[in-house]
Every structure is written in C-alpha cells, then in structure tokens.
Structure 1
C-alpha cells in the first residue's frame, strides 16, 4: 500500500473478495452451509458503519475479517482467516488453532495434534458446517487438513440451537472456498521444501487451487478444484525414567527408578488431499451446490526402545538428589540387569471422504429454505510388528537426571556387537477400523424485515445414521521358543539405532530393522512357531455400533432497547433423540479359559438443549455479551465396547494389562455460561474479555485400576461416568496494528491473548483434576506488514497440566511441565502474483518434560525437530 508523505490514506472502498464468505458467520440462523450473498450484505453493512476505510491486503485483511466475524456473531467465537485464498502461515489446521485464545495444542510425531478448547477435548469438528470425523473417532484428526485448502477456521466457544450437537467444549468449523467466493477466474500454486534438523531430511510439499465462474443460458455456474501433497519426515527422541519404587535394603526410605531408557521415533507421512466444489445459480432466488473433500495418509514409523534395568541389589551403590530421598545416580556391579532393545514398526494407512449436495431457495422476501445431504466414509488400518532383543551386561551405571533426562552406560560392554543380543518376544499385531454416515438436514428462516421485537424465526430438522467398527488381532504376543537363530545370523535383520541429538550416555545400540520386520513377517511367524498369515481377530476387541440421531430445533432472533442501548439476542432449543445399537462380545471364564459371549445392547436418550444469547451495543464500538446454553457430548465409540482384552505379559517385557469398554455409558452433559465485554476501537484493533463457566454431569473418564481375573492381577483401563465437574476461567485478547507510527514503524502490529482456567471433577466425593487443562496459557504474536515485506514472530506458552490421572494405578498423576514454543516467518512479495516465504518452527528448540507426581521423580524428556521451510506461492 502506497502512503502519501503526510501519512494519510485516501478513502477507498474496502476490498471484500476474501471477506464475503468469511463474514457469513455473522448470520443468526446458520444454514447447512455458507452462502456468499448473505455475507456480502453483512460485510457491506459492517464496513459502511465503520466510516471511511482503505484497501487492505494480506495480514491486515485477514485480521480485519476475523475481527468482523467475532464482532457480528451471536456466539462467542474466534476465527482465523486466510491472508489470501488458501494462504496461512501454518501447514495444517491443528497448528493454526494453537494461536487461538483458550485453545492449546501439543506437537509431537512431526506435527501439531491433541487440540483442547479451554482444557477440554469434547468438541465437534465440522467441515463447511457439517459433521466430519476420522474412522471410529468422534472428531476429525485436524492435522489431516492442509491449510492450502482453507478460507478460514472458526472456533465456537458457545453453540446455537441450529448447530450440530455433540460437543461440550465447543465447535471447530473448518471452511473451504467455493467458486462463487471469487469474482471470476482464480488460480494459485504453492511449493515448499522444509528441512528438519534431527531427522536430517528435506521434504517437498505442493498444492494448487483453480476455480472459475461463468454465466450461460441456464444461469451462473462455478467450479473449483484443489489438490495438496505433503511429505514429512520427523525425528523425536525421548529419554525416560520408570515410576519410582522403594529401594529394598536401604537404611532409610529411599525411592528410585527400576529402569531408565531411550525411545527414538522416526517416521514418514505421505498426505494427499483434494477438495472440489460446484455451484449453480439459475436465478437470484435459487442456488444449488455439490462439494467434497478427501484425504489419504500413509504413515510409516519406527520406534526404537531401549530399557536399561538398574540392577538393584546388594552390589548397588547410589547417591541422592540434595534435600530429597530420591535416587540421583546408581551403579550396580555383577547384577546382570534386564536389558532390552526393541523395534516397534507401525505402518498406518487412513483415508476419509465426504461429499455433499444442497440447495438454497429464497421463496419470497420473508422466507428462505435450505437443505443438504452428506455422506462420509472413513477407514484406517495398521500393521504393527514389534520384536524384542535381550542383552546381559554385567554392570550398569545410571543417573535419573543428566542433560535433562535419564542417563546410563554399560562399562566395558559392547552394545554394538550383535553377538551380545538374543531374540526375545515377538508381537504380531494388526488392527483396523471403519466409519460411515449419512446426514440430511433442512432449515427454514422467516425474516419479516422489521425492527420489532421479533426479527427472525428459524427452525430445522436433521437426521443422521452413523456406523463404526473396530477389531485387532488375537494372541499377538508370542513368547520366544527354544532354538531361535543368533541375531547376527539373519541377513538384514540387525540395525544400528538412530543417532541422538543429545548425550544421554548410551549413544547407540543394536536393534531389529523395521524394514526387515515388515518384509519377513511369515518367516518370523515360522521361527516363533506360528502359521503364515495374520492371526484371527480378537472377538473381545470387535465392536460394530450403529448410532441414529434425529434432531429438531427452533430459534428466534429478537431485539429491543434498554434506555438508549440497543440489545439483540437469540433464544432457541435443540431436541435430539439418540438411539445406539452396540454389538460385541463379553467373556466368561470356563475352566480357566475365556469364552466369548455375544452382546447386543440397545439404548436411547432424548436431550433438550436450550440456548440464549444477549448482545448489548453499548456504543458502536463497545459490546457486552451474555450466552447460556446446554450441550451434550457422546462418548467415543470404542468406549461402548462390551469386551475386555487381556494381555498376560510375560518374559519381563510387559506386565499383565487389560483394556475394556462400558456399554452403559451416558452422554456428558454440559451447562455453559459466558459473559464478555468487547471494545473494537479500530478496524483491526480490539480488546476483549470473556468470563466462562462450564458445569458437567456424567463426565466420562478413563481410569487404571487393578483387577484380578482367573488368578492374574491385571492393570485394567475402563471408561466410566463421574457424577459432576466444574470448569471456569477468563480469556483476554488484544489486537492492533500501529498504523499511526511514523514511516516503517507503521507496519507493526500485535496480537496477544491470555487464558486462565481452574476446575475439577467429582468422583465418589473426591475432587480430581481435568486431564490436559493448563491453568495459564498465552500467545504473543508480533506482526509486520509494509510494502512487499510481511512477517510474524509467535510465542506460545501453556503452564503445567495433568497428562494422566492416577498413572498406572500407582496413586500419583503424570504431570507435564510448562511448554514454550516459538515460531517465525517472513514473506517477500516479488510482485502481485509471486511471493516467497521463509519460516522456522520450533525456533527455541523446545523440550517436553513430565514427571511422576513431583519434579524430583522425572519421567520423559522429549526433543523434536526444528523445521525450516522455504515456500514460493504464485497466483493469477
């Protein structure tokens, strides 16, 4: 943007190309999809009320659109809008969400994942307003959606009656572009190469979108096609301590880990995605569309484990951490400690497809009707062989915390000699899942066009049928038979472990090659006394669930004045009937043998979810809000599985464990309240504060307890409902561009947000913490845009949180230390059609650290790749 010497900018109309669809969220009764003409009017009214404006582009335009969405919406919402069609500073949706107030993410295995809203995982994922998911899960794995397809992402903290039910934490709605969002022909391409420092790879990514619209004898047509391919290697390294246990024979109470170890993760993802859309408008009053989205992910990984037992015994010498009774270092001589090298080699394939057709008809000046039919299909499969090796070093020396993690060595013993290892337990594992759904909805709105008390009335219906199934292998753990060959005698079997970025003592060791395991499964089965081919499915893992939902809603928009203050609001209720048909197997022990018994259980429930919003326009720039509503969250399909799978362990590798479901689970109920004050002091300047409170009933938790079955004590994990819970907090957010600063300083801007939360769950009268809830979290993003240059420097912080409650049934929680992440990017626009971007993820080389209950009992220290990306983007 060229600015005159006096610093003023001539008033010109605001460029709406990318805000047309972005502002559709400002509507009141949101239909099944976004309709550009409604948004056009909302955007024009918004800009007209703001007075003289300027043509803005890039970062400013995205911030201005996101701010307008938040200001005009009836719900409490935060949005991130593309700087231009498909251009975001992140690679996938999960990474984008890390910058939204109240949202936290965790990055591992090469990308962002594990999204939580206000400390909660119970949210609904939508794609263009319709429900979408992955395989057996309730929600979509958000990393599977590349940002090159996106127009914007909306994070709803509250939910209107017209929105798809199923989340107590909120709704994440991912919006892709349609051809009518553009004035005419539009095309763009992007290429990227990213270097990862620990995996030492250079990976390509490429994407492109093309769309056009044209008029003919039968009206106006539009078509859009987008394609994306991403290849990504990663390397995560972990060093760990086992949970502390009492040291036998100590003169006073002393605790220390029985085991130390390393885990080296390496993997490669090939992710292909496509989206398409067609629109037809035969008249101004009628429009039809068809659109779809597909993604396929091939994820090949290997995890190299090393377990170093510390050989506690009469010959162990140890020292303590100062001021504690925790072991700091131990040396055990002539102990022959249990020493294990293992390769886990999961290969995953997943794909998800969704297609939808719909129509919108403006019957007359007062009535508008929309309808939509969608089909979703998703499947996932995994082959997961594991093979363990054992070694017998006479002496081990370990330290619980050195260079940030567990440190151990084997004096005078060669861990790189295959002759010092022997083959041990073999795990022949596989699993697969499938999900499919049909979803139809119809909505109608009546808008009399008056400024009376009742401004609009909307109502609608939604019918959905969803099926989910899952199974895994039976008897996948195979103990080592006599006569296994020497490790060094199998050609291509033994590999050297991956190099480590930090010094944790043992730098390398011998481990089975992942490629050998997959290429020689039948040979390994023969060596371990099994027939060729996969094992049969475990009947206790198998479930096939069908869930039918029918929902109706009614919603009205109203308005009135209190003194001189205009107040707008909505009131509505959504009623949903849910029928669940669960099929699986339970087990009975007959003469010590578990016998499968078929189970079919049918349940149904009806839930009414009222919602009320009030929005007071105290001044044209200052808004006060109140939102209250009820939401439900259905348990995961796997949680309903009536079967229990038992793993007897053995060989010193795995302790007896069990995993089961609960077909009697009830849906989680949440009653949510939000009170907000918002000051919009500039088109890209705002200061907002939101107080929130969530009250829960029937919250679902998974807990580990010990159960004795058939004389064996199993650490068993099952889901169950608890009686209640409460979560409350405050969100603060600030955004501004400092255009009034002189010269080049006027290019700076700042976005910052802070969230404070506290809460608990009540379980049998005892207060327990929420898993994944950080009390404090904030984002600070420094922005710059002037002339051809733009850039950002982002810092994200989340305080410590509970990862696992009652870890392994040992009576303490697994707690994660604060996580701090810094990212940066800089873009130079060579011309209006071509730009180049350099970005760095994990600028501060962050570490992840968790501990067993207290900081002097560490568990993991994890290190991740630093990623440097170079991108080029071209558009017509």
Structure 2
C-alpha cells in the first residue's frame, strides 16, 4: 500500500532544479504520471554548460533526486539504462548502499541485513513478496536485467506494508508507459570462474511498446532472463579447541581438521510482464506479473580428519585425546606466547588402533518456484481526489532432496597444522587418499524437506490534494486485507548406519568420484567421495542396501500448516508551514494492523504424535512522523520517528514440540519446538539527517539513527515443566530489550569541472558506524551479524563511449554466534574486504560491451573460536570474469 510522493519538496519562492529532475525521471521510467500527480513546481532554465547526463551520471542523478525528494530516509540505486546494472542480482546491488551488508557465498550474494539487522521486509513494486515459509524474498532470485530501480527505506510511512523493523527493500520493475514508445534490449553474457573452471552462459531480454488506439493508450512489456552459475567455495576448518594432550591439560587445540568443497550448478529462469491501459488521462488500469524458477544441484564434499584414535572395529563415537597412556604422545608445537597447538604429527602405534577419517558428500537438489500476479487501477475522480486499488496473488514452492553418503578410511600417520594460508593444513604421508581400496562404506542419510506458501492481498487507497496554500496539503487513507498460508515438513528417521557385509567401494560401478581439488595449498589436495549422480540415481537401491524400503515418511514433529489473516487501515496527512524564513513540510500518519494467526502442528505425548493447534491475535498501532526543513536551495534537514513491527517466520510459531523419551542422570529431559505465543518484534525508530546537494550529481549527507527494540526473538534454552517433567527446552523466545544506534555518512560527486578527460571521473563514498546490544537476563551482547564499521569506496568514470567502475567494500568483524555449541566462547568473523571492477565501451547507439571482474582481492571469510589463535573456517571463493554484449533499440 505504497504511494510514492516524490516531487512535493519545495515552496514556490525557492528555485530548485526539481522540475527538470522529475521530467528526467519520467522520461527514463523512474516515475509514472500517477506518482507526480498534483505537483506544481517552477520551470527551470537549463544551464548550457552542464555536462550531458547519460549512463552512469544519469543513474547517479536520478538516484540522488529520489533521495532528495523523498519523505522517508532512503537510498536508491537506478538502472543506467533499461536493465543495465553493474551487478547480476538485487542482493549484489545492495552491497553498495550505506548501512547495508551482504554475505557472498555459494556463487552469489545471499543474505542481506540493513544497519546490522535482518529484520527487513521485501516488496516488489510496493507489494509484499517472500519465500515459501519466510517473510522476505531471497533477493538473489531477482536478476538486475528486469529492474528499473531498487529503493532501500531506512524508515517507513503509514501507507507502506508493515513488517520491517530494520528497513524495507522495494524492488521496482519496468512498465511499458515508462518508455516513450517501442524499446527492446538483449543482453548476452558469459562468465568464467577460476576455481570451478567453468564458463557459464547468461541471456536476458525485454521488449516493450505502447500504442494509441480508439479505446485509449495501451502498453505491453515482457522480459525473460536465464542465468547459469557454476561455483566452487573452498573451505578448510578446525574444530573447537579442547584439551588434546593428557600429559599437559593446559594445552588446547582442535581434535579435528577438515576440508569442504561447496560446488554446485544453479540454473535460474525469471520472467516479468506488464500491461497498461489508459482510456483517458484520469484512468489507468494495469496487470503485471513476475515468476522465477531455480534448479540448484550442489555438492558439499566434506573430509573430516579426526586426529584421535578409535579401537577396531568401529564402535565408538567420540574422539580420543592425544596423550592417552596406551598410545605414543604426538609431536607438537605451540603458537608463541600461547597454549594453543600450531602443528602436530603422529604415527599409529602398534596394536589394533587407527586414525579415524571420514569422507562425506552431501548432495542437495533444490527446486523452487515463485509467482506473483497483480491487477490494479488508478482513477482521478476529480482534480483533487485520486483513488487506487490492487489485487495480488502470490504462490511459492520449495523442495529439496538431500542424500548424504559417507566413506571411512584408516590412514596410519598424520601431520597437521592449524594455521597455514589462514586455515587447516594436514596430510597422511604414505597413504593414497585416491585409492578406493583404502575406504569402506559409512553411514547413509536420506533427507528431504518441502514447503509451500500462498497469499491473496487486496488494498485500496484514496488521496485528496488540499492545495499547497493550506497547512494540511494532502490527506490519504487506505485499507489492506491479506490472507497467507504456509506449510513445511521434513523426513523422519533419515539416518542409517553401516551394516555388515557392505560392498567394497571399488566394486560398485560409478560409486566413487574424486573430490574437486583444492585451489590453495592445504596439504591433502583431493580425496574420494560418493558421486553425486550415483547418490540420486540409485536412491532406492541404496535404501535397500542399508535395510530400508522406500522414502521415509514425514516427521510429524516437523510439520506445520499455518494461516495468517491481516487487516490494516491507515490515515496520513501531508503538511507544510513556514518556520520563520525556512519552509518545513512533512507527513504524519498512523497504521492500525490486526493480525490473526492459526497454527497447526504435532507434539510428542508419550512418544505419540498428537495434533496441536493454537490461535492468537495481535493489534498493533504504528504511528509515523516525518519532517523536512528546506534550509536553502541546497540544504535539507530531516527528522523521522516511527514505530514498526516484524513478525517471526512461520516455522517459529510451530505449536509442535519434541521431548526426549528418557531423562539424563539428573532426571532432566531435553526438548525442542516452536513457540505459538511469540509476540511480534517492535522497533521504535528515530532518524535525523542533514543533506547538502551542491550539484545535480553531487551531495554530502549525514544521518544519525537510533532504534529501540522490544520482544526481540532469539532461539534460547530454558527449563520448562511439560507433563510433569523437567525439560531443557530450546525454542524461539522473546527477550525484553535491545538498542541500535549509529551514523551513516555519504558523498557522491562527478568532477565535471576538471579539464578534458579528467572530467569523466566521479566518486561515491559511504561509511556506517553502528553500536547496539540485545539484553537477555541482565546481560548485554552486540547483535549477531552486526559490524561496527562498514564502508564503500567506488571510483566511477564516464566520458564518450567509455565508462568504468572500481568498487571496494569493507565490513568490520562481527559475532556470528554467542556461546558457540554451548562451549563457552563466541564465534567471531574477521573483517571482510571485497573489490569488483568493470569497464564498458559503447560501440554505437545500440550496442555496447562490458568486461567485469568480481572478487579482485580473492576475498576470504575467516572466523575463529573466541581468540584468533583458535581458528575455525577459512573460506575462499571464485574470482569471476564476465563479458557482456548488450544490444538495444
């Protein structure tokens, strides 16, 4: 229920360049006629000395104009031309925005957080859009080729769909009336990735036209996109530290070292379409839709190098410490000044003992689809009154098949180093890890899961323009009614241990494959895994081999089927007045939301699944105030205050719970489950900013923000009494208090005043500082995933047919998990640095070519257990070289 109000920014006696900016936005499709309805801005005489605005400059100027004219605190990224962005998907684009951090793994950007927090809502053309059982869309699923722009709202207004305490990301696609007439473009791209050694094709295209007919103006647009991505993420890891030498209990180090190759092929199809009909200037009817389909076949090739010994045959499940009196003490060295093991080597002693190692290939095959369609209309009932309405339908489905097969090996000797090239280095001298005779079959895990989601969403809005001479210049009100369903399930009893009489690995055709080789030197470079194709093609035969027939039934304790009904009403006014010589304008509004939740699952009662149902409801009142003071023609001061809510994901509400069948020695049971009594997270948000717009593509802005949180949701263990039993129950719970505050600084400028070719340079800089905590039981910890410092440095160039971009991103260290695995220390991630570059050449008016490189610095993700000398992961990713040919007309 979002009504864009860009453009109403300045009283008549100020001479702004806003009318020219709005005209530019209209011409490029960034605003429609409906979104600037009721504007009355002065005409500005163009300056003949201004550099021509095209491409990169045009995108920067349009983004700056949107930010300047908006009521809310927001940042926009605008297409340089139809479908042309410097990145491949929305998540990658957002990595350039101040206050936004992304994580890149599995071949692309993935999770997105705003100001250090995940509590955001994603919109598609102002409508709620999501994954099957989540609240937000996986933003990598939207290719940039179908985008018009992306808006990142740090604050919300009463007319926006509720749901984001951290922010709102609104993805805007094009409509045919955004263009003057016929337009079409085709993008062909090939990517080469250095670690996966792959060359992947990508193709996208869009065609749009509009016609004047006897029944009015009609426009039609259609776009398609295909992306193939083959990737290789390389991980080497150490287990959490423990006492590994019996003779000296003060010495600690990892029991286990290991490697993981995350490899996969992702095929993504996406399409969008739109139809607009304008029978006259006062009425417009439209229909539009978006669909995506993702097939993702992956392998997670694990090697676990257990550094202890186990007795033959394999009967134990734990590791044995290094210094047991029955075995020879290993040779080891320490990190200087610490008791942490740095290197270690050992040989198997005489007797019936061996080193225990494990090869595991997890082979998920994911299939997901998402569709959204909408029909709507706008009617200017009178010159002052406008009415809009829209009906949307969203459907999503995701399923995964995940067989895991393990191989065991018994090397006689091992050497290991915990910190080589940043990660774990180890080798097994004299033992061929590529020989099938050196392996035997281990466990088999037959896993699967599936989820579905659907919603119907109707809204209607009315806006009355009261004139700029009045204190209350505009009134608006609206209603939104939505019904959403979500369901999920996974397998039951998926684990099957090895049996006697298992066949030799080498005797089964097609079973064993070499792992993908490591690109960096971590000792043992390659090992054998069960082939991914074999696992999926022989599922039934493998099940029989392990004593099971057919696919396992759903686990009733995982199953939930929820329905959420939402009714929202809002009222909003736009006002303006003079504070002395300073014009002030703003908005005030309130949104009233009634949410009814009906959740269904199963609980464990005396080891029997019993249906569980809970119904709950909440009513939330969400006020919002924005004020903008036009200090001069170039300076703007803002203040925004508002209340927002974020509902937990549907799985968190699952009323089902599981309690162990037997207690421990203290008579206490263990359990886990959802929590149907969860309250929505409440955010009380305040932003104040000062903005200087000294050129059409030049600005310096500073924003201070503070967020107060109530009912924040975390997974937490607590003692509960269930059916008379004392249970250590892990479930999502509300905690009482949290706070986040910080500062965002941003600078943008093209240096048009420089002579000759130097005038093509430009710079974008932004920096975010954040500090915050979450309080639980009197203890305050920073938010998980929050970096105190983050910044972007982007060098731009555009002159004649040439344009280029060099972008550097820094994200400071952050905590990934507190009390990791209940071991008493935190998992901390080192700073992450990323650099990308691109250069484009416009061959002629209709054709251009771009060469780009992602991951110039061969970035690493490095985390550690509490202190740097206790490393966990070192993760390395593909460096991607892309060549794109663009044609448009």
Shared fold (TM-score greater than 0.5)?
Answer: yes
Q: Distance in 1 between matches of 2:504 and 2:24?
A: 65
Conserved? CA contact 1:17–1:183, under 8 Å:
no
1:849 equivalent among 856, 862, 877: 862
Q: Distance in 2 between matches of 1:18 and 1:809?
A: 57
Conserved? CA contact 1:15–1:55, under 8 Å:
no
Question: Residue 342 in 1 paired to residue 340 in 2?
Answer: no
Q: Distance in 2 between matches of 1:782 and 1:613?
A: 33
Matched with 2:116 is 119
2:131 equivalent among 134, 142, 149: 134
Matched with 2:459 is 441
1:108 equivalent among 100, 105, 108: 105
Question: Residue 155 in 1 paired to residue 168 in 2?
Answer: no
Q: Distance in 2 between matches of 1:13 and 1:284?
A: 20
1:547 equivalent among 564, 567, 588: 564
Question: Residue 381 in 1 paired to residue 391 in 2?
Answer: no
Question: Residue 317 in 1 paired to residue 331 in 2?
Answer: yes
Q: Distance in 1 between matches of 2:45 and 2:115?
A: 33
Deviations 1:90-135 (A, max 9, x none): 0000000000000000100000011000001110100000000111
Q: Distance in 1 between matches of 2:880 and 2:763?
A: 24
Q: Distance in 2 between matches of 1:482 and 1:45?
A: 84
Alignment length, in residue pairs? 843
Matched with 1:169 is 166
Deviations 1:50-93 (A, max 9, x none): 86666411000000000000000000000000001111010000
Matched with 1:48 is 44
Structure 1 residue 626 displacement after superposition? 0.3
2:217 equivalent among 215, 220, 239: 220
Deviations 1:208-231 (A, max 9, x none): 000000111111000000000001
Q: Distance in 2 between matches of 1:662 and 1:247?
A: 40
Matched with 1:721 is 734
- Compute the TM-score of the two structures, normalised by the length of structure 2: 0.92
Conserved? CA contact 2:296–2:367, under 8 Å:
yes
Q: Distance in 2 between matches of 1:457 and 1:620?
A: 27
Where do 1:814-825 residues align within 5 Å? 814-825=827-838
Q: Distance in 2 between matches of 1:545 and 1:400?
A: 47
Conserved? CA contact 2:38–2:465, under 8 Å:
no
Conserved? CA contact 1:703–1:805, under 8 Å:
no
- Compute the TM-score of the two structures, normalised by the length of structure 1: 0.93
Q: Distance in 1 between matches of 2:542 and 2:355?
A: 27
1:530 equivalent among 525, 548, 551: 548
- Secondary structure of the structure 1 residue equivalent to 2:825: coil
Matched with 1:146 is 143
Matched with 2:616 is 603
Structure 1 residue 442 displacement after superposition? 0.3
Deviations 1:452-484 (A, max 9, x none): 211101110000000000000000011112211
Which 5+ residue runs of structure 2 have no aligned equivalent? 1-16, 309-321, 662-668
Deviations 1:633-666 (A, max 9, x none): 0001111112346899xxxxxxx99753211111
Distance 1:838 1:715, change over 3 A: farther
Q: Distance in 2 between matches of 1:329 and 1:601?
A: 55
Structure 1 residue 17 displacement after superposition? 7.7
Distance 1:624 1:370, change over 3 A: same
Q: Distance in 2 between matches of 1:809 and 1:706?
A: 16
Where do 1:231-242 residues align within 5 Å? 231-242=228-239
Which 5+ residue runs of structure 1 have no aligned equivalent? 1-10, 25-33, 649-655
Q: Distance in 2 between matches of 1:830 and 1:729?
A: 45
Deviations 1:421-471 (A, max 9, x none): 111110001110000000000000110223221110111000000000000
Conserved? CA contact 1:120–1:773, under 8 Å:
yes
Deviations 1:561-601 (A, max 9, x none): 1110000010000010000000001112x3xxx21111000
Conserved? CA contact 1:642–1:661, under 8 Å:
yes
Question: Residue 625 in 1 paired to residue 638 in 2?
Answer: yes
750-759 or 503-512, which deviates more: 503-512
Conserved? CA contact 2:576–2:586, under 8 Å:
yes
Conserved? CA contact 1:22–1:39, under 8 Å:
no
Q: Distance in 2 between matches of 1:477 and 1:308?
A: 21
Where do 1:172-251 residues align within 5 Å? 172-251=169-248
Where do 1:369-448 residues align within 5 Å? 369-448=387-466
Where do 1:566-645 residues align within 5 Å? 566-588=583-605, 590=606, 594-644=607-657
Q: Distance in 1 between matches of 2:247 and 2:716?
A: 32
Conserved? CA contact 1:430–1:473, under 8 Å:
yes
Q: Distance in 1 between matches of 2:544 and 2:492?
A: 17
Q: Distance in 1 between matches of 2:855 and 2:339?
A: 36
Conserved? CA contact 2:705–2:742, under 8 Å:
yes
Structure 1 residue 339 displacement after superposition? 0.6
- Secondary structure of the structure 1 residue equivalent to 2:355: coil
Question: Residue 874 in 1 paired to residue 887 in 2?
Answer: yes
Q: Distance in 2 between matches of 1:559 and 1:329?
A: 70
- Secondary structure of the structure 2 residue equivalent to 1:180: helix
1:699 equivalent among 701, 704, 712: 712
Distance 1:96 1:715, change over 3 A: farther
Matched with 2:693 is 680
Q: Distance in 2 between matches of 1:709 and 1:38?
A: 56
Conserved? CA contact 1:93–1:147, under 8 Å:
yes
- Secondary structure of the structure 2 residue equivalent to 1:63: helix
Structure 1 residue 716 displacement after superposition? 7.3
Q: Distance in 2 between matches of 1:427 and 1:46?
A: 69
143-152 or 806-815, which deviates more: 806-815
324-333 or 186-195, which deviates more: 324-333
Conserved? CA contact 2:761–2:795, under 8 Å:
yes
Conserved? CA contact 1:13–1:54, under 8 Å:
no
2:756 equivalent among 737, 743, 749: 743
Matched with 1:561 is 578
Matched with 1:6 is none
2:794 equivalent among 759, 777, 781: 781
- Secondary structure of the structure 1 residue equivalent to 2:828: strand
2:347 equivalent among 314, 324, 333: 333
Matched with 1:474 is 492
Where do 1:247-266 residues align within 5 Å? 247-266=244-263
Structure 1 residue 811 displacement after superposition? 1.9
1:355 equivalent among 352, 358, 373: 373
Deviations 1:470-525 (A, max 9, x none): 00000001111221111111100011111111011111111100110000000000
Conserved? CA contact 2:603–2:658, under 8 Å:
no
Conserved? CA contact 1:706–1:809, under 8 Å:
no
Deviations 1:815-867 (A, max 9, x none): 11000000000000001100000000001111110011111110000000000
Conserved? CA contact 2:853–2:880, under 8 Å:
yes
Q: Distance in 2 between matches of 1:90 and 1:720?
A: 38
Distance 1:185 1:686, change over 3 A: same
Conserved? CA contact 2:466–2:475, under 8 Å:
no
Distance 1:673 1:601, change over 3 A: same
Conserved? CA contact 1:144–1:271, under 8 Å:
yes
Structure 1 residue 706 displacement after superposition? 10
Matched with 2:314 is none
Q: Distance in 1 between matches of 2:42 and 2:103?
A: 36
